[in-house]
Amino acid sequence: MALRFLKKKGYRIIETNYVCKLGEMDLIAKEKDTLVFIEVKTRTSMHFGPPQLAVTNFKQRQLSKVALNFLKEKKLEDVKARFDVVAILLGQKGEEIELIKNAFDLNWP
């Protein structure tokens, strides 16, 4: 669902479920001249709040470490990059998808 949505928005998907010893990144894509690290969060209700609230400070630090590892591994340290979140709510009204660009900055201890 997130892949289709992002492709319609002009993102070119580079990797899905990138895994390294530091963790996992749901999607890595290019949008124009920017490399985008994307976390996808899905919920079936708003009982615990919107899906994007699950991207906590701890999660941001973990995703930052994974992104830095990817950049180093691929020798892309000098590219423009950002973090986006795709929030998916599968509720009674059907699916609602929200793209949050620049959802957070590099969060390094």
Q: Which residue, 81, 73, 84, 83, is CA-closest to 19?
A: 73
- How far apart CA 45 and CA 21 sit, in angstroms, is 32
Q: Which domains does the chain have, with CATH numbers?
A: 2-104 (3.40.1350.10)
Read off the pTM.
0.93
Phi, psi of 40, rounded to the nearest 5 degrees: -110, 125
Structure tokens at 52: 């994007």
Neighbours of 7 (CB within 10 A): 12
pLDDT one digit per residue (tens) for the chain, 109 residues: 999 999 999 999 999 999 999 999 999 999 999 999 999 999 988 888 889 989 999 999 999 999 999 999 999 989 999 999 999 999 777 899 999 999 999 986 6
DSSP 76: -
- How far apart CA 18 and CA 26 sit, in angstroms, is 7
